[in-house]
Amino acid sequence: MGQIAAGLSDRTVEIGGTSATGSRYCAALRFALTKSATKGNNAGIGLPNFVYRSESAYARVRLCGLLLSLFVSSRSLGQFLSTEHAVNASEVRVGLSSTQSGAIGALAVSVKEGYLAFFGRVNRQGGVYGRMLRLIDYDDDYQALNAVANTEGLINRDKVFALAGCAGASVSEPVLAMVNGARLVFFAPVSGGLGVRQPLLRYVFSLRASYLDESRLLVRHLVEDVHVGRIALVCRHDGDGDSAREALQIALAEHSLRIVSEGDYVRNTMEVQEAFERVIDGNPEAVILFGAGAPCAQFIQYARRRGGWPLILCCTSNVDLEHVQRLLGPQAEGVIGSQVVPFPLDSSSDLVREYQADMTARGYQDFNHASLEGYVGARVFVTALQKAGPALTEQGLIDALANGTFTCGPLTFAFDGNLQQRNHAVFLTQISHGRLVPTQQIGLPVR
């Protein structure tokens, strides 16, 4: 590590990608180096100046992940990240760094409540082989540096056995190299982006369908059912937005179409006016929105205020359509949404009935897709703990996840030999008469 850091000392390292993407990786790298430069043989080593270069390809951002992996995996960094994640006889500690405030706070809080609802049920029944489940969580405010700091604390101070339910690619991707170096399970990140899927990492287990899965269903619905072909994109100006763009391009190309116009906005802001103007310049018939609920709601509001423009508006699951409906009221009428879990009010489903009962036991009756996603994640995680047996180890959990098949209602989760998840289930919803409903209630095809 001393040689690596010394070789980079007093240099400027250029990182490609968008400004937001490059900046967040630079922050993660500098944080890691700051921690390690005060330890042992690294004391006094100068730190490089990491900067982004916005005109570079997004692929070069992976250089950051590679460098951070080198730092985390180097011998002297054993003092930085613990690789021991044993459980005791009384509890299993699960860590969560999520955005409980900021742009996607509503979604991340709901995911956390879903985990707590199922963990509470398991604990009331005596835990897993007598061990209680304890969720330790911190707010990262949707800032990469906070996520990195939270992750270090969860690993070194709180001694968690696994991380689960982290929401958003922008705060999940910067900690992946840390997770890999610490040899810690990173379970069910709430992101459909490529960054948490490629390259495949031994300790990362993604459950939800990808942005490509969601894009394919929305595009097929727009092209085959609604009969429109001029489709635009709105996304964040970061790596997550790059993943969204790539997914939509692939989905449209399968129908010999392309994105007619696109607009992006800066993460953690509501500044979507410029994005709106760029989108309407392309005269689209439909717009697919990837991003946080509040700025996407602002975009929808601009579209409604314009008037005389029969624009079809679609949101992916990360937008949190229930939150958009609460923000906009009647202005959200007709908005279509893709979801990665079943409808949370469908009481004909055993899964949903149990979810509703366990949420109610916690005092929550705001049933929504995000909390159901957290609940499903918790069920799969607990099932894997049970499969791993009473002599629980990190490797036992990894083997249980990698070799198991997990069923939750209509969802089935399994991993191939390369730990690539095989769940591609996506569901359509729409706001109709002031309520979010599944498509079968408004005469639209489900799949």
Q: Give the end-to-end CA distance of the chain in Å, rounded to a whole number.
A: 51
3-state DSSP call for residue 255? coil
pLDDT reported for residue 309: 67
Contact (Cβ atoms closer than 8 angstroms) between residue 40 and residue 5 = no
What type of residue sits at position 177? A
pLDDT reported for residue 44: 39
Alpha carbons 150 and 341: distance in angstroms, whole number: 28
What is the second-level CATH architecture of the domain 91-208+347-415?
3-Layer(aba) Sandwich (3.40)
3-state DSSP call for residue 444? coil
Per-residue confidence in pLDDT tens, the chain, 447 aa: 333 333 333 334 444 444 444 444 455 555 544 444 444 434 433 444 444 343 333 333 444 444 444 444 443 344 477 777 878 889 999 999 988 876 667 888 999 999 999 999 999 999 999 999 999 999 988 888 888 899 999 999 999 999 998 887 778 888 888 888 889 999 999 888 877 777 677 889 999 999 999 999 999 999 999 999 999 999 988 878 888 999 999 999 999 999 999 999 988 788 899 999 999 999 999 999 998 888 999 999 999 988 766 789 999 998 989 989 999 999 999 999 999 999 999 989 999 999 999 999 999 989 999 999 999 999 999 999 999 999 999 999 999 999 989 999 999 998 876 666 778 999 999 999 999 999 864 444 433
Contact (Cβ atoms closer than 8 angstroms) between residue 107 and residue 114 = no
Residues 6 or more apart whose CB falls under 8 angstroms from that of 167 comprise: 98, 99, 104, 107, 108, 111, 189, 190, 191
CATH 3.40.50.2300 positions along the chain are: 91-208+347-415, 211-339+428-442
pLDDT reported for residue 72: 45
CB atoms within 10 A of CB 418: 8
The helix (run of H) or strand (run of E) holding residue 156 is none
Nearest to 204 by CA among 155, 160, 163: 163
Nearest to 315 by CA among 208, 436, 424: 436
pLDDT reported for residue 237: 87
Angle between the 369-388 and 350-361 helix axes, to the nearest 10 degrees? Answer: 100
Please give the DSSP secondary-structure letter assigned to residue 101: S
Q: How far is CA 102 from CA 50, 106, 142, 265, in A?
A: 26, 9, 6, 15
What type of residue sits at position 127? G
Alpha carbons 179 and 361: distance in angstroms, whole number: 33
Angle between the 144-152 and 19-36 helix axes, to the nearest 10 degrees? Answer: 30
Phi, psi of 438 (to 5 degrees): -70, 155
Look up the CATH number of domain 211-339+428-442.
3.40.50.2300
Q: How far is CA 9 from CA 2, 76, 189, 413, in A?
A: 10, 17, 34, 45
